[in-house]
């Protein structure tokens, strides 16, 4: 092989390696962007007849402006049973999810990962417990 062909082949190899590195770095940048957008919604599994559940929804609505995702109300009941809900609350009716927590006394406060994994769970018995659980969720957001 002549020296000129070796130089040309070497430069072609360097260019191909550079393009491969650039593609890898682009994928890493896109993956980093996806991971940084992952959010953890706060949610409550609630029953409309529970007065503490209504308080939880009001507190979640107050907190929702500072959350990266809307707070979620997990329920088995229809819209007309709940009536107008506070702003910042997204209603989810999901029978399998409700069945997973229905044996617990409502309200059930949860911090849920995008994968559906419950990261934190609280069973408040009074208004102070609600505030402590939501503060714990806020602390989790600030750490992650």
Beta bridge partners of 71: 89
Q: What is the CA 29 to chain-centroid distance, rounded?
A: 21
Q: CA-CA distances (angstroms) from residue 7 to 2, 16, 18, 35? A: 9, 14, 16, 42
* pLDDT given at position 40: 62
**DSSP-assigned beta bridge partners for residue 45:** 74, 108
Angle, vertex CA 26, rays to CA 20 and CA 27, nearest 5: 95
| Tens-place pLDDT, residues 110-120 | 988 877 788 88
Taking only the tens place, the pLDDT of each residue in 17-62 is 999 888 887 877 776 655 444 456 778 888 888 889 889 988 888 8
Strands 118-122 and 108-112: antiparallel
Q: How far is CA 104 from CA 3, 15, 73, 98, 117, in A?
A: 78, 61, 15, 10, 17
pTM reported for the whole predicted model: 0.66
Query: 42-143 maps to which CATH number?
Result: 3.40.30.10
């Amino acid at each position: 092989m002549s020296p000129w062909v070796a130089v040309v082949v070497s430069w072609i190899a360097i260019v191909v390696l550079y393009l491969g590195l650039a593609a890898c770095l682009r994928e890493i940048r896109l993956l980093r962007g996806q991971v940084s957008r992952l959010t953890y919604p706060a949610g409550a599994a609630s029953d409309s007849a529970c007065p503490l559940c209504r308080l939880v929804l009001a507190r979640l609505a107050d907190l929702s402006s500072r959350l990266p995702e809307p707070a979620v109300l997990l329920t088995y009941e229809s819209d007309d049973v709940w009536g107008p809900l506070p702003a910042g609350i997204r209603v989810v009716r999901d029978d399998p999810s409700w069945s997973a927590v229905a044996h617990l006394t409502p309200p059930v406060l949860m911090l849920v990962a995008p994968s559906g994994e419950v990261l934190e769970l609280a069973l408040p018995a009074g208004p102070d417990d609600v505030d402590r659980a939501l503060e714990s969720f806020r602390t989790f957001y600030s750490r992650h």
